[in-house]
Every structure is written in C-alpha cells, then in structure tokens.
Amino acid sequence: MDRYNNLASNANDESIASLCEALLHFMLTACTMPSARKVTIDNINIDIVIPNLHTLRNFPDKAIVIQIPKDARSLTKQIQNFTTFQPNIKNLWLVTKKPVLGNYINYFVESENNRKTSSQIRSFYDIIVDIDTFLEQTKDRSFRFFH
C-alpha cells in the first residue's frame, strides 16, 4: 500500500484521473452495476451516470453523476454545469486526487492515513459499496447479470 501511495503522490492529476476512471469502469462491469459511460447532455460531457440517462433525465433524485475531472482548475465551472441536469448536489460525486471541499460527495485517492471523516469527503476505496447502497436505497430494478 505504501508503494501505491508513493505513486499516487508523485503522479499528476490527469494520470490519477485516467487511472481512477479506468478502474471504476472495470469495477462497475465486474460488479454488474448499471451505468452509462462517457455521455453528453446539453454539450456537457459526463464520465458516468448511474443507473442510466433515462433515470437522470426523468428522476434525477434516483441517479448519480460521477465526474472524474482531469483538470482541477476548471472544477467550479464543471460543477455549475452539472447542477443544470442534476439538481440534487448530493447525487453529484467527484473523484479527485486530493480531497476537495464542497456540497457534493468527493471521493479522493490518497493515503488511508490521511483519510477524512466528513460524510462529504470519502476514500475512493468506498465508491463501489456506496454505489451499491445508493441503488438499493432508490430501489433500482435495472437488469443485471449475476455470476
């Protein structure tokens, strides 16, 4: 784990974002969780929508928008864009290298030793469990393959 943390601390934001995005896509597929990936709404690119675009458009309280910004400098503008179609800020999740303060849920890739205790700031290690919990709470009935 220390080797991973050293790699993460030395890598730039774009590399970490790309790695997190690939890993999250793999985990969603392996866990057979419903998602729409790399979609565009109103000329805004979204990394991941859970469970799908239909739910986001018609029932935004039952959908999560996960964004993995490659450039932390444009984060404020991106969040403003996402709130146009996801008014529930608690359903806007960001994955970043380091914790970022805000009203949205933030998953970060940082040493477990520096883990934050806020319910808004969480470790990337928890994201799949939190997605599954969200889907159970919203009574999502999306089709899934089970192995």
Per-residue pLDDT of 72-103, as tens digits, reads 677 777 777 788 888 898 999 999 888 887 88
How far apart CA 62 and CA 135 sit, in angstroms, is 8
Residues 6-23: pLDDT tens digits?
Answer: 555 556 778 888 899 999
- Whether the pLDDT of residue 147 is over 90: the answer is no
CATH code for the domain defined by 2-137: 3.40.91.80
E runs forming strands in 3-147: 36-41, 44-50, 64-67, 92-96, 105-108, 121-123
Q: Name residues whose C-beta falls within 8 Å of residue 40's C-beta, 6 or more positions apart in sequence.
A: 46
- The tens digit of pLDDT for each residue in 33-59 reads 899 999 988 888 899 999 999 999 999
For residue 2, pLDDT over 90 is answered with no
Amino acid identity for residue 103 in this structure:
N
The pLDDT mean for the chain works out to 82
Burial class (CB in 10 A: 0-12, 13-18, 19+), 93: buried
Share of the chain above pLDDT 90, in %: 37
What single-letter DSSP state applies at residue 42? T
Token representation of residue 139: 């009574």
DSSP E strand stretches across 1-147:
36-41, 44-50, 64-67, 92-96, 105-108, 121-123
